[in-house]
Amino acid sequence: MNIIGGYASQLLAGRVSDVLRFNLLVCEFRRFPDGELYTRILDDPGTESVTIIQSTVNDSDFVLLLQLIDACCDVAKVNVVIPYMGYARQDKQFKGGEPISARAIARCIKADNVYTINIHDPSILEYFDAKAVNLDATPVIGEYIKNMELKNPLIIAPDDGAIGLARNASKDLGLDYDFLEKTRLSGELVTIKPKNVAVNGRDVIIIDDIISTAGTMAETISLLRSQGAHEVYVACVHPVLSSNAVLKLFKAGVKGIIATDTIDRGASVVSVAPVIAEAISKTGF
């Protein structure tokens, strides 16, 4: 079985090939003078089966993924792993005249199997022609947290939409989890606090699927610190960390950032390679 790592996922592809002891194919990535992408698989992908791993953090990553899929047109079975799928947050029409961008992207991916990781909304999977499976990276994040030296740790979801992430990250590890609940006291007054557990004196890890601008996390960090949390960490599956997100997190008082390598960033301390490797092994080659 051959693994192809796209430009955006070279490290992760290398780690998956290492776990599975599969052949990692080397590709060439460069640009033509006019800026267009030139992509070439330098090693022979053969004709049997190949797994392409490429996150689509930006538009070029997406074009490059399409190029790699096309370059494998003579391979009988093509698996595509999109560890982080860009445009997934545009999963519905919010205003008239808008596209469902996640659908537009999914429809272009021609493959036998598609794997995503903690995709923003699993309903997007239906837009792929291929059999699409969403993998969960939160257990490996939980394992990492479990091994940290923390004071009475508590995993918190910043809203009820992320509570599944907090639950799965703490599952079977003996860690507590909760989510922040907004209560309206009057027309102007709202309180936001953990639904069931007090954070006072505890180390808290806020978990979300994506940290992009870090607006959500920065606000939550400040809130939990004002409520007496000891140290506050943030954890996410997808460290988009656009623009000055990291600075905003530290300005808000974060102790550390825990993220996976679905996007290769300095904060990517947890690898999803075992999660991908297990899924590929189950599907068969």
Name the one range near ligand R5P by CB under 6 A: 4-12, 34-42, 57-65, 210-218. Answer: 210-218
3-state SS, residue 72: coil
Report yes or no: 131 and 148 within 8 Å, Cβ to Cβ: no
Choice among 92, 182, 195, 251 that is catalytic: 182
Q: Would you say 64 or 204 has its CB closer to ligand R5P? A: 204
Name the one range near ligand R5P by CB under 6 A: 97-105, 108-116, 214-222, 272-280. Answer: 214-222
Name the one range near ligand R5P by CB under 6 A: 38-46, 57-65, 213-221, 227-235. Answer: 213-221
The H or E element containing residue 245 is helix 245-251
208, 232, 268, 276: residue in contact with ligand R5P (rule CB under 6 A): 208
Q: What token pair was written down for 24?
A: 């990692």
Q: Would you say 52 or 211 has its CB closer to ligand R5P? A: 211
Residues ≥6 apart with Cβ < 8 Å to 282:
none
Q: Would you say 102 or 214 has its CB closer to ligand R5P? A: 214
65, 210, 221, 280: residue in contact with ligand R5P (rule CB under 6 A): 210
Q: Would you say 45 or 86 has its CB closer to ligand R5P? A: 86
215 contributes a contact to ligand R5P by CB under 6 A: yes
Residues ≥6 apart with Cβ < 8 Å to 237:
84, 117, 118, 137, 138, 141, 165, 209, 210, 259, 260, 262, 272
- Residue 67 CB, nearest approach to ligand R5P (Å): 28
Q: Which of 194, 257, 200 is nearest to 230 (CA)?
A: 200
178 contributes a contact to ligand R5P by CB under 6 A: no
Report yes or no: 206 and 220 within 8 Å, Cβ to Cβ: yes
- Residue 120 CB, nearest approach to ligand R5P (Å): 7
Query: Among this protein's residues, is 92 annotated catalytic?
Result: no
Q: Which residues pair with 191 in a beta bridge?
A: 183
Other C-beta atoms closer than 10 Å to the C-beta of 92 total 13
Alpha-carbon gap, residue 69 to 107, rounded angstroms:
13
Alpha-carbon gap, residue 270 to 117, rounded angstroms:
14
Report yes or no: 68 and 39 within 8 Å, Cβ to Cβ: yes
- Residue 57 CB, nearest approach to ligand R5P (Å): 13
Name the one range near ligand R5P by CB under 6 A: 50-58, 111-119, 129-137, 208-216. Answer: 208-216
214 contributes a contact to ligand R5P by CB under 6 A: yes
209 contributes a contact to ligand R5P by CB under 6 A: yes
Matching residue, tokens 């080659």: 285
Alpha helix positions (H), 45-182: 59-71, 101-108, 138-146, 163-170
Alpha-carbon gap, residue 77 to 47, rounded angstroms:
8
101 contributes a contact to ligand R5P by CB under 6 A: no
271 contributes a contact to ligand R5P by CB under 6 A: no
Any idea what DSSP says for residue 89?
T
105, 205, 211, 221: residue in contact with ligand R5P (rule CB under 6 A): 211
Give the footprint of ligand R5P on this chain (CB under 6 A): 208-216
Q: Hey, which residues are catalytic here?
A: 182
